[in-house]
Amino acid sequence: MSIQKSARERVGLAVFGSDALAVVSAIIAAEDAGIKQVWMTQGTPAPDTLSIYAAALVQTTDIRVGTAIVPTYPRHPLALAQQALALGDLAPGRLRLGVGPSHRPTIEGVYGIPMKAPLEHLREYVTVLRQALWEGKVDYQGHYYTVRTPFPRTPRTPILISALREGAYQLAGEISDGAISWVCPVPYLIEKALPALQGGAAKSRRPVPPLVAHIPVALSQDHQAVLTAARKQLGTHGRLPFYASMFAEAGFPVSSDGTISDALIENLVVSGDQANVKQRLVELLGMGLDELLVMQVPVSDADGEQARLMQLIGGM
């Protein structure tokens, strides 16, 4: 599937912002630059991503939007399906719905919701979404959810899930329309994640869904400045147990206080001038990664670097 797509179709840009109007403007600018896919993370607290997308979709024509991700525990799957239905009515075929359990500091520390058996919870969540968005009727009783209702239309919105460890990639292969990584070193994705994704798909006798690889990018040739900027943006991940375990399995254990190494940052972040960054992104697509989710790492001129990154991706 991915081989038949152009590089530009396979590279999306992460957009961020605490102001909804600014994010909508960024999505419009991305489409104007020729970008085919944008992604947003649903932060806590932050403006609602799907509401921002509704505003952006009616002001654009063909750019696809994706969530990477909407946390599952705080939002009932039927409520999320209703939001996806509305976006499907506004812009058919342009939403890709990424969901995932998030992390205990957020789910338990902020929302006060017990976070138990996240992969099993995620399996049930996706089952409800699938029945609503693809089958038009939910008749499900599980450990976490009991839902019975007809659904008015079937927008067949692609359902992707977040994945860090091999069990999550296997689950993605079994039940989802794609696996979304986050700060996973590329060798780990190739050697661990892809085989698990393929194994899950084989287990369910279904096509292998795409692996959407999160790739931080810094448009700078100043190595030390890139390290400093990337550590500021990515450093907190080392203090989250799910990420720390994945980093260790990938060969980059964090220190006792959760500090990530320079070697991990150098492995994660693509940096350099526009020509070198573009070349590396094309190389990554040729290594077996189906799609790239490019996230800007601002170094010295955030707005200027974002504009150049949009031009780079839109021109691939």
Q: Residue 36: which of 2, 13, 67 has the closest Cα? A: 13
Can you tell me the distance from the alpha carbon of 233 to that of 253, in angstroms, rounded to the nearest whole number? 18
Return all residues near 218 (Cβ < 8 A) that are at least 6 apart. Answer: 226, 229, 230, 269, 270, 271, 296, 297, 298, 299, 305
**pLDDT per residue over 43-100, tens digit each?**
888 999 999 999 999 999 999 999 999 999 999 999 999 999 999 999 999 999 999 9
Q: Residue 175: which of 120, 212, 237, 103 has the closest Cα? A: 120
**pLDDT per residue over 173-210, tens digit each?**
999 999 999 999 999 999 999 999 999 999 999 999 99
Write the single-letter amino acid at 144.
Y
Write the single-letter amino acid at 297.
V
Looking at per-residue pLDDT, the higher value among 17 and 228 belongs to 228
Write the single-letter amino acid at 308.
R
pTM of the model: 0.95
**pLDDT per residue over 254-297, tens digit each?**
999 999 999 999 999 999 999 999 999 999 999 999 999 999 99
Segment 102-111 long-range contacts (CB within 8 Å, at least 24 positions apart): 102/44, 102/69, 102/71, 102/72, 102/73, 103/240, 103/241, 103/242, 104/241, 105/240, 106/44, 106/71, 107/71, 107/73, 107/74, 110/44, 111/44, 111/73, 111/74
Can you tell me the distance from the alpha carbon of 291 to that of 75, in angstroms, rounded to the nearest whole number? 27
pLDDT at 2 over 50: no
Q: Residue 212: which of 243, 242, 238, 178 has the closest Cα? A: 178
CB 74 within 8 A of CB 100: no
Q: Crossing angle of helices 166-175/194-204, nearest 10°?
A: 40
Using DSSP's 3-state secondary structure scheme, residue 258 falls into coil
What does DSSP assign to residue 109? T
Residue extents of the structural domains in the chain: 69-161
Quote the pLDDT of residue 3. Answer: 45
**pLDDT per residue over 104-146, tens digit each?**
999 999 999 999 999 999 999 999 999 999 999 999 999 999 9
